């Protein structure tokens, strides 16, 4: 009887939860119905957004939402050039250490009763002073505090001038300031909401917060006070609203997109890639007239990392084996058949296409005979006639790693593939427990320093991103020169020299330079595409003439 009662209670409880969910979705649909389909932009996130506070804009899911709600001093355009945002201009001192920003005087926070009778107020330099101090506050524990690690001081000179002093010159600094961590927030709102500011965001962005039910739906509305205008003087944004759903299943998302229920779909998943794309990366004929596809360079290098602090007799301690792995598989074949042509073979080092310092230098091509010679040399020198390695990955990249496994066996390396959950993979990589691990590095800001920092010896994990524990005195010297070099061309040459050292010493196995891929409905205009895969909706229009629905 007790078991039956528990079952009845659980059934009743589940029914109530289901009913509440249905009522909520109906309510959302009713609220959205006041706008036409061409006024609301809809997209899906596979994982729930964890915070709408820019201090916690670490993952793309959070960054995309935060980008609609907030602004910083500067922003990046689709060509990764730094453009004015709340700062209308700036001056950098000759020694490269002092940045003085002049703020616009027409930027207002989103309307809220916290601001008193006017329901809003203008942004002042003191707001940036507060926002930067908050980013550094240990009690806030923002993952973005590192952005200001080279900052000696900052202060508001007056209401419209904000000054930042660096400890030493750092040319990529403006690009760092474009990160969403550096967005301005109002002290009144943070003080009032406390930890719940994450779910009650107030910023200056093109859209303001309307509704968020975690794991279900996020709704943003047009900000009527937004300061930016298009080239014809029309106020941005054009859309009335943005609606985000949280379907975790990528196949379900694909079906929703094909049915026209969402306007945009990012990336490519193995569950549907062969249905939508040919092996050369073009759209299948049945979709050409129904949807649009955009691709472009992405500041993301996919690679296998090789942990170098292993035992002396481990095969990957030898550069011969590391180079043999690099020569031992066909990257072009891998991209064509396993990625449907999305991405390009990483045959030019670690710095990806899309960065100006990428120079197409000679890396590792497919040379199986050269790989066999290197393996044979290793066997002669060590007496190890059966070198064994293990590649650790998560399930999303299993097909790539199994392809490499089969190719390495042909050159005399006994390889196996271990599959573990993503969280376990991250921990193992950070703790040095994985001799070879599948990884990717997506740029936080558009400068190759972001990539070279992975091999600087003072950045050994867990204190930095040097997961391989690579150490090279010449590399370290060049790196230290590069972060002080103000001359852009000289800095790029230093990056390229460092990248050539990485190619020669082979602490990693570059796999491919990723591409941004975006699918949209035919009526979506002005979405754009960029190498950091930022979602910017303020100039998006949904054209009635091209709508299928």
Residues of the chain above pLDDT 70, percent: 93
Contact 443, 450 (CB under 8 A): yes
* Cβ burial 465-493 (10 Å sphere, 16+ → b, else e): bbbbbbbbeebeebbeebbebeeeeebbb
- Close Cβ partners of 404 (under 8 Å, ≥ 6 residues apart): 304, 325, 328, 329, 334, 391, 415
- Quick: pLDDT tens for 284-328: 999 999 999 999 999 999 999 999 999 999 999 999 999 999 999
pLDDT band at 34 (very low <50, low <70, confident <90, very high): low
Is residue 4 scored above 70 in pLDDT? no
- Close Cβ partners of 332 (under 8 Å, ≥ 6 residues apart): 345, 366
- Quick: pLDDT tens for 59-106: 899 999 999 999 999 999 998 999 999 999 999 999 999 999 999 999
Residue spans of alpha helices (H) in 143-249: 173-177, 187-193
Residues of the chain above pLDDT 90, percent: 80
CA–CA distance, 175 with 443 (Å, rounded to integer): 11
| pTM score | 0.84
- Quick: pLDDT tens for 211-232: 999 999 999 999 999 999 999 9
Is residue 127 scored above 50 in pLDDT? yes
Residue 291, classed as helix, strand or coil, is: strand
Contact 223, 240 (CB under 8 A): no
pLDDT band at 19 (very low <50, low <70, confident <90, very high): very low
Average pLDDT of span 254-266: 95
Average pLDDT of span 427-445: 92
pLDDT of residue 28: 52
Average pLDDT of span 405-410: 98
Is residue 144 scored above 70 in pLDDT? yes
CA–CA distance, 154 with 166 (Å, rounded to integer): 9
Residue spans of alpha helices (H) in 94-208: 125-136, 173-177, 187-193
Q: Please tell me whether the peptide bond between 462 and the residue prior to it is cis, using omega within 30 degrees of 0.
A: yes
Contact 367, 458 (CB under 8 A): no
- Close Cβ partners of 465 (under 8 Å, ≥ 6 residues apart): 441, 453, 454, 459
Return phi, psi of residue 431, to 5°. Answer: -95, 0
- Quick: pLDDT tens for 397-407: 999 999 999 99
Q: Which domains does the chain have, with CATH numbers?
A: 38-261+523-542 (3.40.190.10), 297-515 (3.10.105.10)
pLDDT of residue 36: 75
Average pLDDT of span 4-12: 41
Return phi, psi of residue 147, to 5°. Answer: -60, -30
C-alpha torsion angle, residues 472, 478, 482, 487 (rounded to 10): -160
Return phi, psi of residue 341, to 5°. Answer: 75, 5
Token reading at 383: 């007496």
pLDDT of residue 270: 80
How far the first Cα of the chain sits from its last, in Å, is 53
């Amino acid at each position: 009887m007790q078991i039956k009662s528990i079952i009845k209670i659980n059934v009743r409880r589940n029914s109530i939860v289901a009913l509440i969910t249905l009522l909520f979705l109906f309510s959302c649909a009713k609220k959205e119905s006041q706008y036409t389909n061409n006024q609301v932009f809809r997209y899906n996130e596979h994982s729930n957004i964890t915070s709408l506070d820019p201090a916690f804009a670490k993952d793309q899911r959070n960054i995309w939402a935060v980008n609609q709600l907030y602004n910083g001093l500067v922003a990046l355009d689709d060509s990764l050039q730094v453009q004015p945002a709340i700062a209308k201009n700036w001056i950098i001192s000759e020694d490269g250490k002092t940045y003085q920003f002049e703020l616009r005087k027409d930027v207002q926070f989103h309307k809220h009763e916290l601001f008193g009778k006017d329901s809003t107020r203008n942004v002042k330099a003191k707001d940036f002073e507060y926002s930067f101090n908050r980013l550094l506050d240990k009690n806030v524990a923002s993952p973005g505090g590192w952005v200001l690690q080279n900052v000696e001081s900052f202060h508001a000179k007056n209401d419209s001038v904000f000054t930042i002093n660096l400890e030493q010159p750092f040319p990529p600094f403006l690009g760092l300031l474009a990160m969403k961590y550096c967005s301005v927030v109002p002290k009144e709102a943070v003080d009032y909401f406390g930890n719940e500011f994450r779910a009650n965001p107030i910023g200056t962005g093109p859209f303001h917060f309307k509704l968020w039910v975690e794991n279900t739906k996020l709704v943003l509305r047009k900000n009527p006070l937004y300061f930016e205008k298009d080239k014809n003087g029309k106020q941005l944004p054009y859309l009335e609203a943005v609606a985000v759903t949280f379907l975790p299943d990528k196949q379900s998302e694909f079906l929703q997109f094909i049915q026209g229920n969402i306007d945009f779909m990012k990336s490519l998943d193995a569950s549907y890639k062969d249905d939508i794309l040919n092996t050369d990366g073009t759209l299948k004929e049945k979709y050409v007239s129904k949807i649009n596809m955009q691709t472009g360079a992405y500041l993301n290098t996919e690679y296998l990392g090789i942990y170098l602090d292993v035992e002396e007799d481990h095969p990957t301690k030898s550069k011969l084996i590391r180079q043999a792995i690099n020569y031992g598989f066909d990257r072009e074949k891998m991209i064509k058949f396993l990625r449907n042509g999305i991405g390009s073979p990483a045959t030019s080092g670690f710095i990806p296409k899309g960065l100006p310092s990428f120079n197409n230098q000679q890396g590792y091509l497919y040379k199986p005979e050269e790989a066999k010679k290197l393996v044979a040399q290793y066997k002669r020198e060590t007496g190890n006639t059966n070198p064994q390695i293990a590649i650790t990955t998560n399930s999303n990249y299993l097909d790539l790693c199994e392809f490499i496994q089969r190719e390495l066996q042909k050159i005399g390396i006994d390889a196996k593939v271990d599959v573990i959950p993503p969280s376990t993979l991250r921990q193992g990589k950070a703790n040095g427990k994985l001799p070879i691990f599948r990884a990717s590095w997506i740029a936080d800001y558009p400068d190759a320093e972001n990539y070279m920092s992975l091999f600087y010896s003072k950045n050994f994990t867990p204190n930095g991103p040097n997961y391989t524990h690579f150490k090279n005195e010449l590399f370290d010297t060049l790196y230290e020169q590069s972060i002080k070099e103000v001359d852009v061309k000289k800095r790029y040459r230093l990056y390229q020299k460092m990248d050539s050292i990485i190619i020669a010493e082979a602490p990693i196995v570059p796999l491919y330079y990723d591409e941004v891929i975006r699918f949209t409905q035919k009526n979506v205009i002005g979405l754009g595409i960029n190498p950091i895969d930022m979602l910017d909706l303020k100039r998006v229009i949904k054209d009635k003439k091209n709508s299928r629905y």
